[in-house]
Structure formats: structure tokens, C-alpha cells
Amino acid sequence: MKRFLLYLLGIFLLLFGAAHACNFKIYNFGDSAEKSQETSFKKMGKPDPYGGLKIQFHAELICKEKSFENTLLKYFFVEDKLVRITLERVMMKDRNLMDVFYKHYKKKIPDQVNKFEWRGSLEAESQDSLAFYIVTNLDNSQIEILDIYSKRHSNLIEKYLKNSNDKDN
């Protein structure tokens, strides 16, 4: 009976963990926009005059978990290489993107601070990315942003920014 309860508990934990996971990285850094198995995502892209391509859509298209409801996903490509992923949530009374940031980067606000009242930014890095988590107030709401940049492709980001600044001046 103990063994059965342990198996049951293990299965529950596996299912619970999977239910709160969403692989929003349908592209890896450096991938072409064409690489997506879902070709309709490429059609959602908007090229800009500086050599960038932004593909954005609601996370519900690829994530069925409630924790990603009302999340806007943005993939930014420069020279047809993914260099940035942004997740945005507006007017939500949770901190789901904070939880994603903590899960992937193991950095969080101090325990004594109420995460629902906290406003500010955190930054962290992993082997291949630099991430910024931001929560700030809007007029009658708040916005939560998780911005992830490829460290390996930082030269493309710099080149894009220089190109856009040169053309704007």
C-alpha cells in the first residue's frame, strides 16, 4: 500500500509539474524564422526597415496552461537569426512570469517582500542568455515583462541598434 501511494504521489507531482510548464522557446537562439514547425508563425512576422523581423502572438497558441493566459510572446530576429524573446502580461493579478524567471535563472526578490506588491526589475544570466524581468505600474494596471537576449548573438543586436540609429538620424 505504501508503494502504491508513493507511485500515486510521484505521478501527481509529474503531472502537476508538466501542467505549469510551457515551452515558449519554439525557436532556439540563432534559429531562422523559417525553422518553426508551425509555418503560420512566420506569416505573423513584421519585417522592419532596419533588418529585423518580429513575430508575435498570444501564448495560448502554443501553451495550454492557464498560467500563460493573456501572455504575448514576441520573437525578434536579426539577419534571420533569433536574438531576443519577450513575454508580456498586462492587467494580471499574478506573477507567473516572475515564476518562470525564477525557475530558469534561480534569482528572485527577497523572501520578506510580497511579490504581488513588488515593483522593479531583476536581471540574470545563464550560459547562453541574459534575462531581464520587470514589473511596473500602468495607469490603472500593471505590466509584467520577461525579456531574454542571446549572448552569442549580441553582435547582431548591436549591429541592428547601430543600423536603426543611423537611419533614424
What does the pLDDT average to over 62-70? 83
Assess whether pLDDT exceeds 60 at residue 60: yes
Domain chopping of the chain, boundaries: 2-168
Can you tell me the mean pLDDT for 18-46? 69
Inform me whether the pLDDT recorded for 25 exceeds 80: no
E-assigned strand segments in 17-156: 45-47, 52-58, 71-78, 81-90, 120-125, 129-137, 142-150
Q: What is the number of residues in the chain?
A: 169
Q: What is the average per-residue pLDDT within 10-33?
A: 60
Question: For residue 11, is pLDDT > 60?
Answer: no
Cα separation, 154 vs 160, in Å, equals 10
Q: What is the mean pLDDT of residues 1-8?
A: 37
Provide the pLDDT for residue 37.
53
- Give the tens place of pLDDT for each residue, 125-142: 999 999 999 999 998 889
Task: State the first-to-last Cα distance of the chain, in angstroms, to the nearest integer.
Answer: 74
Neighbours of 156 (CB within 10 A): 21
**34 pLDDT band (50/70/90 cuts)?**
confident
Q: What is the pLDDT of residues 82-107, one digit of tens each?
A: 999 999 999 888 999 999 999 989 98
51-85 exposure pattern, b = at least 16 Cβ within 10 A, e = fewer? bbbbbeeebeebbeeebbeebebebbbbeebbbbb
What distance in Å separates the CA atoms of residue 77 and residue 29, rounded to the nearest whole number? 9
Q: Residue 16: pLDDT above 50?
A: no
